[in-house]
Amino acid sequence: MLAIKLKRIGKKHQPSFRVVVAEKRSKLVGRFVEDLGWLNPRTKEFQINGDRAGYWIKVGAQPTDSVHNILVSKGIVKGTKRPVHKKSKKEIVNQPELTENK
């Protein structure tokens, strides 16, 4: 199964990412099928080839949550953004239950 994901490049403490289409289970430093664009999180700039991203999604490649949010902000994918950071199990267990007393 193919996935559209971020591949980290750049120096230490200066992250930069490539948006690539790769096998879902492959390592991030491994081979990829196609390079779709780039993302610089320090300056919040990114560039993605929308036509190719749309093609890969139609073929069946699934974007990761972070890439999905980038595609939504660019307007390539319709919908809402996905939460990237999930709640830990400790937070879920310690939350008080909402019960109605009638």
Which residues are registered as beta bridge partners of 23? 2
Domains assigned to the chain: 2-83 (3.30.1320.10)
Q: Tens digits of per-residue pLDDT, 21-70?
A: 999 998 878 889 999 999 999 999 999 999 999 999 999 999 999 999 99
**Residue 47 region by backbone torsions, left for phi larger than 0, else alpha for psi between -120 and 50, else beta:** beta
Is residue 102 predicted with pLDDT exceeding 60?
A: no
The model's pTM is 0.77
| CA-to-CA dists, residue 15 to 18, 40, 42, 58, 67, angstroms | 10, 7, 8, 30, 16
Does 86 have pLDDT greater than 90?
no
